[in-house]
Amino acid sequence: MSTVFSEVYGTYYNVVAKVLTQALEGKLSAAGMQQLIREGGYGDSVLQLLPALADGTWKLLTPELGTPLKNKPTMPLTALQKRWLKTLLLDEKISLFFSDEEITKQHDALQSVEPLYRPEQFVFFDRFVDGDAYTNLKYRANFREILYAVREKRYLNASYRSNKGTIIVWTDLVPVSLEYSAKDDKFRLQAIAERKLVTLNLGRIISVEAGEAVEHVKTLKKGELAKQTLVLEIEDERSTMVRALMHFSDLAKETEKLDESHYLLTVQYDKSDETEMLFRVLSFGPTVKVRESENFKELIRKKLREQMQYSVGF
């Protein structure tokens, strides 16, 4: 397989494991097996898994719906998967999602495992150096409170230090999403304040507290608030198309093949991210051309004119 963890095969394995567990306990029936596959699998899983189990192709079930297995099936991790997990544990951002005790426990479990990569092996040539302080205890506490509010759809009250140094107090913020900017190496909160979308850098949040549940969940749909469409024509030199798909992997997008070497890539992004999108597009140079929108084209022209003026000055 081309991926470290396969969602498809992982799902199939877990569904079959549930079927075999019931068979070991003597509780499996034909109807129950079909229900387990429907509930735990995909739309076509019944067509793929049920015949292989029922007709003896996989030899995991007897005609009486028993099983020759003696122990409940487990899904041990491969050496590659363990090395990948060890790599994730070395990333500072992991401390935002787990407690120190949980991280220590995982480190102990993978003590003898060599990571696939170490943080010092990665060199970011186009990233700002003032990223968020991910291991700071206050930052971690704020992050988790915000993450809880986003997941549970709860109001937020927050005090915030603006880039001018003034303190802003926000009440009854409706959290929309918690996002990471690879360019800035920062997390930011997208939220609704009095029907307007606001962006708060987590590093500038002084304190935050989750409140009551938000009643109207539909107001949390960020895409309805400030969605922008960007259409790019890509000349596929030096695997530009593959790089573009990876570069914009965090955004909703559609692709269309024009000919053997040209593609259209339509990307949806948030208006508040327009400056970052500008730099992301410019990083591809002449292999990417902006088709739409006219507003974004003008931003490109303006930035290029500024760069030309600076070049003349030197």
List the CATH number of the domain containing 190.
Answer: 2.30.30
- Mean pLDDT (whole number) for 103-128: 90
Q: Report d(CA 218, CA 51) in Å as an integer.
A: 41
Which of 3-12, 30-39, 225-234 is predicted most confidently? 30-39
Q: Sorting pLDDT into bands at 50, 70 and 90, what band is 186?
A: very high
Q: Report d(CA 280, CA 274) in Å as an integer.
A: 10
Residue 19 shares a structural domain with residue 99: no
Q: Sorting pLDDT into bands at 50, 70 and 90, what band is 217?
A: very low
- Asked if residue 131 is part of any domain, the answer here is no
- Asked if residue 255 is part of any domain, the answer here is yes
Q: Sorting pLDDT into bands at 50, 70 and 90, what band is 312?
A: low
Residue 234 shares a structural domain with residue 295: yes
Percent of the chain at pLDDT exceeding 70 = 93
Q: What's the CA angle centered on 272, arms 242 and 225, to 5 degrees?
A: 100
Region of 312 please: left (phi>0), alpha (psi -120 to 50) or beta. alpha
Residues 6+ apart with CB under 8 A from 70: none
**pLDDT tens figures, 249-302:** 777 788 888 888 888 889 888 776 777 788 888 888 888 888 888 888 888 888
Q: Report d(CA 237, CA 240) in Å as an integer.
A: 5
**pLDDT tens figures, 33-78:** 989 998 888 777 778 888 889 888 889 999 999 999 999 998 888 8
Q: Sorting pLDDT into bands at 50, 70 and 90, what band is 220?
A: very low
Residue 63 shares a structural domain with residue 100: no
- Mean pLDDT (whole number) for 104-115: 95
- Asked if residue 24 is part of any domain, the answer here is yes
Average pLDDT, the chain: 85
More confident residue, 187 or 4: 187
- Asked if residue 22 is part of any domain, the answer here is yes
Percent of the chain at pLDDT exceeding 90 = 40
For tokens 């297995």, name the residue: 69
pLDDT surpasses 50 at 219: no
More confident residue, 249 or 114: 114
Could you say which DSSP state residue 26 is in? T
Range of the domain at 278: 224-313
- Asked if residue 277 is part of any domain, the answer here is yes
